[in-house]
């Protein structure tokens, strides 16, 4: 009888201990790491003023009178650099973001990743898509699928489609397609697709100026990210529509000029 009671007691003690250990492990596993959430609101400006589409009211550094009719682009590889050397790249669920001036819902980005607590020195991202991510047929639905870059010109996707019009030297108002994507190198002096011998990535690595911030536990941080459109046309190169013409998809020299101007197109501020 005593042995039976002893065995029952021992079994009960074992079960209680096992339950306690399991509950402790479960509690440990479910304990969230300290951090906050973040979102970007995006706007597009020209010389500090909100973009007004379809109005021939802007003048760039080359003296071109121009308007913007459409503006669509991708940003990806958004990365936050903490002061202690740790870096956090947005990767959960979505890591490529499509922005369209004509689709207001694309101009607010909510990150599902939690941003660890700490003081951060800066923020960076890729304007467009890195070579690793810029794969044809990555998207199957609009609007992203409409950004496809012709396969014969290297495939993948447009990094940006900025469409508009400018007043040329004759006074005529003519269209321009300021498009960035993979460039091509050609044998000879013509843009004959049969003479392409190499493709060139033209994405822009953007390191945002004055982008330091602190993140507290459970904080909800909102940043305003601004594209300053005039910067595409002025620094370090003065971009002249009369020189480059209305379509630059097959003109690597023109796309490289635009790419090199992209380094300071964006600015950011914590709201």
- Residue 28: CB atoms within 10 A of its CB come to 8
Q: How far apart are CA 93 and CA 58, in angstroms?
A: 38
What does the pLDDT look like over 84-106, one tens digit per residue? 999 999 986 678 999 999 999 99
Query: 21-65, pLDDT tens digit by residue?
Result: 444 444 455 666 889 999 999 999 999 999 999 999 999 999 999
CA distance 158 to 67: 20
Categorize the per-residue pLDDT at 12 as very low, low, confident or very high, splitting at 50, 70 and 90: very low
Q: What is the mean pLDDT of the chain?
A: 90
Query: In which residue are the tokens 């700490």 written?
Result: 118
Residue 29 has a pLDDT of 57
The pLDDT tens digits for 204-228 are 999 999 999 999 999 999 999 999 9
What is the chain's Cα-based Rg? 26
Spell out a b/e string for 91-129, using b for 16 or more CB atoms within 10 Å of the CB, else e: eeeeebbbbbbeeeebbebebebbbbbbebebbbbbbbb
pLDDT in the model for residue 31 = 65
Going by C-alpha positions, the residue among 105, 94, 102 that lies closest to residue 138 is 94
Cα distance between residue 248 and residue 255, in whole Å = 7
Q: How far apart are CA 89 and CA 199, in angstroms?
A: 27
């Amino acid at each position: 009888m005593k042995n039976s009671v002893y065995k029952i007691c021992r079994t009960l003690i074992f079960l209680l201990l096992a339950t306690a250990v399991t509950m402790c492990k479960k509690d440990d596993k479910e304990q969230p790491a300290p951090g906050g959430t973040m979102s970007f609101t995006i706007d597009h400006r020209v010389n500090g003023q909100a973009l007004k589409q379809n109005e021939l009211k802007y003048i760039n550094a080359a003296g071109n009178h121009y308007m913007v009719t459409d503006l669509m682009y991708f940003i990806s590889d958004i990365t936050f650099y903490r002061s202690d050397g740790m870096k956090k790249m947005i990767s959960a669920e979505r890591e490529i973001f499509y922005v369209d001036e004509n689709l207001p819902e694309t101009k607010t980005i909510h990150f599902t990743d939690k941003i660890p607590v700490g003081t951060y020195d800066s923020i960076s991202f890729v304007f467009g898509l890195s070579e690793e991510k810029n794969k044809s047929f990555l998207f199957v639905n609009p609007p992203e699928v409409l950004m496809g870059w012709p396969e014969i010109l290297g495939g993948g996707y447009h990094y940006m489609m900025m469409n508009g019009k400018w007043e040329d030297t004759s006074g005529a108002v003519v269209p321009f397609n300021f498009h960035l994507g993979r460039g091509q190198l050609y044998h000879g002096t013509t843009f004959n697709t049969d003479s392409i011998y190499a493709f060139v990535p033209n994405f822009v690595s953007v390191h945002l100026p004055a982008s330091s911030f602190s993140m507290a536990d459970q904080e909800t941080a909102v940043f305003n990210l601004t594209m300053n459109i005039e910067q595409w046309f002025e620094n370090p190169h003065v971009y002249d529509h009369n020189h480059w013409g209305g379509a630059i998809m097959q003109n690597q020299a023109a796309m490289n000029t635009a790419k090199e101007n992209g380094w300071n197109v964006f600015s950011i501020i914590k709201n």
